[in-house]
Structure 1
Amino acid sequence: MLKSENETPSRAVDRYFASLGWKPFRFQRSVWRAYQQGASGLLHSATGTGKTLAVWLGPILKWLRENPDRSKWNPKRPPPLKVIWITPLRALAGDTESSLRSPLEAMEIPWRLESRTGDSKASVKARQLKRLPTALITTPESLSLMLTHEKLLEQLAGVEAVIVDEWHELLGTKRGIQTELALARLRRLNPAIRSWGVSATLGNLDQARESLVGVESVESGRDVRLVQGYKRKRLKLQSLIPDRIDRFPWSGHIGTKMVPQVAELVDGVNSVLIFANTRSQTEIWYQQLLAQRPDWAGRIALHHGSLDRSVRRWVEDGLRGGSLRAVVCTSSLDLGVDFTAVDLVIQIGSPKGAARLLQRAGRSGHQPDAESRLAFVPTNAIELIELAAAQDAIKKGHLEARPLINKPLDVLAQHVVTIAIGGGFRSEALLNEIRSSYAYQSLSDDEWRWVLDFVVHGGSSLTAYPEYHRVKLVEGRYQVTERRTITTHRMNIGTIVSDASMTVKYLKGTTLGTAEESFLSKLEPGDKFLFAGRLLSLVRIKDNAAYVKRATGTPDTVPRWMGGRIPLSSELSAALRGKIAEAAAGVLIGNEMKSLKNLLTLQQRWSVLPKQDELLIERIRSRGRYQLFLFPFEGRLVHEGLAALFAYRISRYQKTTLTMACNDYGLVLESPHEVDVEEAIERGMFSTEELVGDLYSSMNATEMAKRQFRQIARVAGLIHPGYPGQPKKASHLQASSNLFFDVFHEYDPDNLLLQQSRREVLQFQLEANRMLAALDRIGESRVLIQAPRKMTPLAFPLLVDKLRERVSSESLRDRVARMQAELEKAADRRLPGDQE
């Protein structure tokens, strides 16, 4: 590729771009210059705009300038480790390796490029323990694992650059914290190391940059850049609007009714990614599309994280090679894999955030100059307002921030043991290193002493149990000496904690993937379920595997995986309230809002559409029950917490039984007795005082804290999930963690891991900060209390969700249809009290 020995590195790179039919962008050259000047930084650019080459060619250009004499290049003796590339998913390592290898081969650069992840062969890992390649692609877990090998530290100290891909995916997670701690260690090994991150679709860029490079780098005045690339690509969004929109919508009602329109869209292009929000949805949509177009068998496929790796790889290769027309997928294809051939992205249901919508749209036209196309398929009519709101947020640049986690001590305890295995440490030196990270900059001396005591003695409650004395203090240096402790720790490094899963395989042994134990354990032999795009019948469960055979007929069920619910982002919630307020003023902008004119007009006739500084409450009596519908438009998770909180506060002064249901737009409280809502408000239903205490009282928070504590206990090393091929059952792990929880609760109430579990319940499960902000907003709003004579369009979907609890799915559909027909008939005539 080098034209001659005298060709400059810059011209060589330009010629490489020319061979691809491209020219370097200004932001790519900015990153290359910054790298040559010794800077670290964060590159923020839209999906598919050339971020990878922007950060990868910086180290390559530097090496070319330092090694101009090609006669000394020897592929048999590649340079030592220079670059570590961190990918958030090990599944992306192969694709990343292909992308990074292309310029190396084109310019004949004698670097050795390899991956090291949980999928790497044992022989490769063993060879790498002797000599690492010039550039190494790895994951946060594998990087932490390398830090336990003292013999690798000398090579790691020579690393010139560490590059973190898709930093927005790690930010605000415990895996991101684990990465921060590993980066702090690399900076300690080589203070001159350059740290670069790659990110798209992110709101809090300054925090993202500081968490990447560490507070010490920023405070010391080191050159740290924020490079803005393409903020937005050309984007074309369209909605598949049903021919007829019910004025009384309900969740999932439209859903697969739109399969013919989706099939028509797929027919009009060469290749499509069809995103659904849950793995269960992907299974259903895949079957529905095949039923619509049987001739597509073998041309469409399914892709989600619970499928076997060989299946996922076959699908990815089919997309690249053009043999697949469409893939129905979850966020498993949100990142990284470079499918330049994808013409269109279809989003089933609301993506719940503007940033996620942009990320997914960017999977089509995955080149800087190409247009990204996305078609939106609503699963209920009101989701069309969400899409209109998301488009507004994108136009205004209001992308979601990733809230950061502050000093989780379970991750810190794991990291301390990691460093103690990898050569050991002295207390003050490691404390200073840890405080240089963004997440632990406020770590107190008391918290640090507690963590040390926890890993050395098991804390004050476990001192009598030697198995929890993992780290020893030898002549002022903390280290691990027990071989069993080292082995167990290395096997369980990481922060990914999921429900225990079982392998799903055919009787003859072919593995299809995994499903959660909690689902499979409830099935009886002969039960039929959809999985991996097939209808299967359970034969038996043995040795942590569910053995199945192909079945015919109709499924009894579809697997439900935990963690499938995506919360509505606070930014999209605000934009949603803005669109409702516009409609209240009679302003309907865009096809989505115009298509809902009849629904919105009826809502105003029978009740009101709230403005942004208003809260709508509707009280309706139905079938002898009293219902209060409240519409904060804050998202399901916030509404679940608010519903429990409001019910608890009402029950303190009125003896009644309150049941509840929630969706992304509102909540309903149902009672056999009428609730005086004015009195409830007067007595502090919306108060922010005593919020935390009332939340714990209202939501059985001890049980929630116990479940959260299981994750913390696993990360901190109190429990471990078993050995390869011999995982412990979820019930066993939960029982073990419950025992620790109860012991700490009784004998060590100040245990910091116990306190962390309560904080995490508030932060992650109850979204307490958003609840507090919502209550503050509600407290300043004008409350509109309405008493419509009939169920309104906004209230109807909440009523249906309430009915789901006690009505089977088939009879629910019939009952809802009857209710809709009655309401539609009433909507066609004027009722007393109708608004003009």
Structure 2
Amino acid sequence: MKLNKKQLFHIAEDFFQQQGWTAFPFQKMTWDAFLAGKHGLLNAPTGSGKTYALWVAIVLNYIKNNPDYKTKLKKGLKAIWITPLRSLSNEIEQTSQRFVDGIGLPFTVGIRSGDTPTAERKKQMKSMPDLLITTPESLHLLLASKDHQKFFGNLNAIVIDEWHELLGTKRGVQMELGISRLLGLSQELRVWGISATIGNLEQARQVLLGVDESRFRESVLIKANLKKEIEVKSIIPESMDKFPWRGHLGLHLMKEVVDIINSSKSTLIFTNTRAQCELWFQGLMTNFPELAGEVAMHHGSINKETRIWVENAIRNESLKACVCTSSLDLGVDFAPVETIIQVGGPKGVARFLQRAGRSGHRPGETSVIHFLPTHALELIEASALQKAVSTQAVEDRLPYILCFDVLIQYLCTLAVSGGFYPDEIYPEIKNTFCYASITEDEWDWCLRLIVHGSSSLQSYDEYKRVTIEEDGKYVITDRKVAMRHRLQMGTIVTATDVTVKYVTGGYIGSIEEYFISKLSRGDVFVFAGRTLEFIRLKGMVAQVRNSAKKRAQVSNWQGSKLPLSAQLGELLREEMINFQTGKKRTPEVKALRDIIIRQQRESIIPQRDQFLIETFKTREGYHAVFYPFEGRFVHEAMAGMIAYRISLLKPITFSLAFNDYGFEILSDQEFDMQEVLDNNLLTPEMLSQDLQSSMNATEMARRKFRDIAVISGLVFTGYPNKLIKTKHLQNSSQLLFEVFRDNEPENLLFRQAYTETFEQAIEEYRLFDALERIQNQEIIWKACEKPTPFSFPIITDRLREKLSSEKLADRIKRMQLQWE
């Protein structure tokens, strides 16, 4: 006899009671919606019980349709749980298994990712678990297997966890395609996403479910209204530089950080980059050796065993503190840590809230986050973040449109798995948000590319991957082509990593090839918290030994510069006014009082409707500093564009510097700022053309094209342990880029390289919005006698590119004294 809703809920509530819990309203709403056959998006913060919201719903739905569930179990895969991070899998597995064991349901839960042993994968192919926890890449590898229809035929649910992390990335597009295929294979499939708060939740639901209106009408958006109290405390130095500068990464506040570590049971210290993470860990070990063994480090390049050890040590509270990057931002569901420290501006409200939520990681508990400024002006950012926390002003995640490289990879995946008929697959693809606007001509072009290579590559057999059988089925029959495709599936194209090992053989981690390629034998560098001497590069393995030298360069990574989000830029501009009037009596306002007074005396603090430009002369030349407060990506593009526009009025060369608050144009000859303003140089008109001329857009597009060529399979990255060097990859993709530019400018992949350059690397839409805003503001040009406190961080940023940290500190001290 079938159970009714009340009886089904009773099963779950009994389990909750045994654990000493009560189900939240949002969990019950999710169970209800799922049992009613709906798709949906659940908006819930990390640590709120979201796994139980959906896993319980899936299990109750199975019980509803199989009342004799305790004696008769239908074999096969019933649900797939997608997680963007492998590190979350174990946690989800334990939570899911705990529930089914607790209610006496003989379900099995399995994990399938890059870390899953081969034997376990083979076992799964013979007999799938009831719930499979996997990543977007591993799901596509399953879709590439010959028997994939057999696996997915009885699938009832797919849950995409941390959907906000996938949205606005090519992995998200890959997920859209994966969902479209599963919906084609299983009529009963429910699609659900779990997302933290983002600005465009409704659009996030639309992207998840695709453009089929009936499916969207049958879906719900459920919000877990769990009020989370977040307390932001700024760490303020006893004395403030009158001329704030960045470059010391906040290390001068290390003693205050150690005091916080010692007064807390457990602390996470979040840095924005892996290099900063290494520096902070090194600094703590050098200056406070008594913390050895009590403080660890965690980032994505450290080997898996060490990362798991650190996560477990935080869980069982055997570590006092951990210096980490965003590798611990998401879910890794250890017991709540007591305290969070954020080093430097987090560049986005959502990221800041996510990190704050790691503390008091239980519903109803207050999260405490300490904000450590790396230069004085970041205290304004701290103040803006406090406002953002109270208003929940979080960023949108903008979805990608028409990623032809991901589509071409997907078509090859289907061709490897036993083949596909274009007429059957085309409607599925048109139903996704990413490809809703694809035309028949573009679709035919993609099909021609995988069969013949593009028009300029038809003479080369290596680009002919797919054959068409007599009945019109598209298949890959060549075993070598199939193997190469399977090895290269996925959309994460990073710079090639080099394995770092001791000469004696111990594995330490992996580091980007471009950093290692700059080292000579005997060079000393810091990595994974150790000081290492470089011996030699053997294939893709860097051999090293420990070094006792005190001075070493810090390993760095190319993805190390996060841009300020538009929302945080807006909040910063608003917050300026509070600092100017002095009405706010916060510790941040008090600490910055002298700097603010000095800035007002020598220039102004721009109000919301004002745009400030400062000019002054030093021994270096003539400086013009602009303050849009839009983040370094936008400033880099705007600086290049304005310098180009000035050079059209008068032949002149510039050097440029920029940070999150503004940018500097420096020249050895004077130019007339009034002429610049009179000629409307700060206008969005002719923006695309001027960007093309000023940013070397072709060079940027050429670099973007390397990733597109790899994802679409035009360039092969190599076999395991025989990876092709980044330099050679760049050369082969550049060759294709030149061929398309000269012979086939209408090539969709070639055009995509430019689209991505303008939309992602330059953020043209944000630049356009910023210039439109400036047009409606009062432009105030201040001719100053010397650099102002606001301009100082930008000037010192430029010097940091040229000088070692010791020389830079000396130089800055001299500059500060000179300008005092």
Compute the TM-score of the two structures, normalised by the length of structure 2: 0.97
| Cα deviations by residue, 1:120-139 (Å, 9 ceiling, x for unpaired) | 11112112222211110010
Structure-1 separation of matches of 2:58 and 2:697: 50
Structure 2 partner of 1:72: 71
Q: 2:342 corresponds to which residue?
A: 347
Q: What residue in structure 1 maps to residue 177 of structure 2?
A: 181
Aligned partner (choices 631, 642, 665) of residue 646 of structure 1: 642
Say if 2:582 and 2:589, in contact at 8 Å, map to a contact too: no
Aligned pairs, number: 817
**Which whole-Å CA distance do the structure 2 matches of 1:298 and 1:472 have between them?**
59
User: What amino acid is aligned across from residue 206 of structure 2 in structure 1?
Assistant: E
Contact 1:129 1:152 in 2 (8 A): no
Match of 1:23 in 2: 22
Distance 1:245 1:418 in 2: 58
Alpha-carbon distance in structure 1 between the residues aligned to 2:550 and 2:584: 43
Provide the rounded CA distance (Å) in 2 between the counterparts of 1:743 and 1:170: 33
Which moves more between the two structures, 658-667 or 413-422? 413-422
- 1:142-541 matched pairs, under 5 angstroms: 142-216=138-212, 218-219=213-214, 222-230=217-225, 232-253=227-248, 255-474=250-469, 475-541=471-537
SS at match of 2:554: coil
1:43-82 correspondence runs (5 A): 43-69=42-68, 71-73=70-72, 79-82=75-78
> CA shift at 1:787, angstroms?
1.1
Q: What SS does the aligned partner of 1:215 have?
A: coil
Q: Is the 8 A contact 1:618 1:788 kept in 2?
A: yes
Q: Secondary structure at the match of 2:455?
A: coil
Shift of 1:231: 5.4
Partner in structure 1 of residue 577 of structure 2: 581
Structure 2 Cα separation of the partners of residues 589 and 407 of structure 1: 50
Deviation per residue, 1:362-385 (Å, 9 max, x gap): 111221122212111111111111
Q: What amino acid sits opposite 1:771 in the alignment? A: L
* Counterparts in 2 of 1:7 and 1:212: CA distance versus 1, 3 Å: closer
Note the 1:560-571 alignment, pairs <5 A.
560-571=556-567
Does the 8 Å CA contact 2:314/2:335 hold for their aligned counterparts?
no
* 1:680 positional shift: 1.4
Cα distance in 2 for partners of 1:86, 1:765 equals 28
* Aligned mates of 2:592, 2:70 — CA distance in 1: 70
Using the TM superposition, name which of 245-254 and 746-755 deviates more.
245-254
- From 748, 752, 758, give the equivalent of 1:756: 752
Give the SS at the match of 1:537.
Answer: strand
Amino acid at match of 1:61: L
Shift of 1:154: 2.4
Displacement of 1:293 in angstroms is 2.6
| 3-state secondary structure, aligned to 1:774 | helix
- The aligned runs of 1:635-784 (5 Å cut-off) are 635-784=631-780
Q: Do the aligned residues in 2 keep the contact of 1:260 with 1:292 (CA within 8 Å)?
A: no
Cα deviation code 1:301-346 (max 9, x no counterpart): 1100001111111111111122111111100011121122411111
Whether 2:39 is the aligned partner of 1:40: answer yes
Task: List aligned pairs for 1:112-131, cutoff 5 A.
Answer: 112-131=108-127
Name the amino acid aligned to 2:442.
E
1:537-616 equivalences under 5 Å are 537-588=533-584, 590-616=586-612
Question: Shift of residue 43 of structure 1?
Answer: 0.5
Distance 1:263 1:69, change over 3 A: same
Does the CA contact (< 8 Å) of 1:238 and 1:375 recur in 2?
yes
Post-superposition CA distance 1:128-169 (Å, at most 9, x none): 222211110010001011111131212212110000010011
In 1, Cα distance between equivalents of 2:301 and 2:125: 31
Secondary structure of the 1:493 match is coil
Other structure's SS at 1:198 match: strand
Equivalent position SS for 1:203:
coil
User: 2 CA distance for matches of 1:589 and 1:713?
Assistant: 55
Q: Which moved more, 1:535-544 or 1:137-146?
A: 535-544
Shift of 1:588: 3.0
Give, in whole Å, the separation in 2 of the partners of 1:21 and 1:72: 28
Distance in 1 (CA, whole Å) between partners of 2:15 and 2:59 is 13
Contact 2:405 2:712 in 1 (8 A): yes
Distance 1:61 1:767 in 2: 45
Question: C-alpha root-mean-square deviation of aligned residues, in Å?
Answer: 1.7
Distance of 1:35 and 1:661 partners within structure 2? 53
1:816 aligns with 2:812: yes
In the alignment, residue 418 of structure 1 is paired with which amino acid?
A: T
Structure 2 SS opposite 1:150: coil
Residue 817 of structure 2 aligns to a residue whose secondary structure is helix
| Mapped partners of 2:325, 2:245: distance in 1 | 23
From the superposition, tell whether residues 589 and 761 of structure 1 become closer, same or farther in structure 2 (CA, over 3 Å): farther
The 2-side partners of 1:462 and 1:124 are apart by 41
For 2:361 and 2:800, how far apart are their aligned partners in 1?
A: 41
Tell me the distance in 1 between the aligned counterparts of 2:766 and 2:298. 33
Q: Aligned partners of 2:816, 2:15: CA distance in 1, in Å?
A: 62
**Within 1, Cα distance between the matches of 2:729 and 2:6?**
62
Q: 1:509 to 1:718 in 2, by over 3 A?
A: same
Q: For 1:254 and 1:710, how far apart are their aligned partners in 2? A: 33
| Distance in structure 2 (CA, Å) of the matches to 1:792 and 1:587 | 23
Judge conservation of contact 1:201–1:359 (CA < 8 Å) in 2: no
Could you tell me the percent identity over the aligned residues?
A: 43
Distance 1:232 1:738 in 2: 52
Deviation, 1:248, is 0.8
**Matching residue's letter, 1:16:** F
Kindly state the Cα deviation for residue 73 of structure 1 after the two structures are TM-superposed: 4.6
Q: Partner letter of residue 733 of structure 1? A: L
Give the Cα–Cα distance (whole angstroms) in 2 for the partners of residues 477 and 304 of structure 1. Answer: 45
Find the aligned partners of 2:464 and 2:581 in 1 and give their Cα distance. 66
Provide closer, same or farther for how the CA distance between residues 343 and 717 of structure 1 changes in structure 2, counting only shifts above 3 A.
same
The code of the aligned residue for 2:128 comes to: L
TM-score (norm 1): 0.95
Cα distance in 2 between the residues matched to 1:417 and 1:594: 61
Distance (whole Å) between structure 2 residues aligned to residue 71 and residue 696 of structure 1: 66
Deviation at 1:20, TM superposition (A): 2.8
Which residue identity is paired with 2:51?
T
CA contact (8 A) 1:530 1:555 kept: no
Letter in 1 for 2:104: E
Cα deviation 1:768-812 (Å, max 9, x = unaligned): 111011111111111000012221110111111222344333222
Once the two structures are superposed, what CA deviation does each residue of 1:188-211 show, in whole Å capped at 9, x if it has no partner? 112331011111131110111011
Moved more, 93-102 or 241-250: 93-102
8 Å Cα contact 1:159-1:190 kept in structure 2: yes
Distance 1:94 1:467, change over 3 A: same
- Is contact 2:47–2:331 with CA below 8 Å preserved after alignment? no
CA–CA distance in structure 1, aligned partners of residues 529 and 285 of structure 2 = 10
Q: Secondary structure at the match of 1:365?
A: coil
* Alignment correspondent of 1:141: 137
Residues 563-606 of structure 1: CA deviation (Å, up to 9, x unaligned): 11111000000000001133334433532233212111211111
- Contact 2:70–2:104 (CA<8 Å) still a contact in 1? no
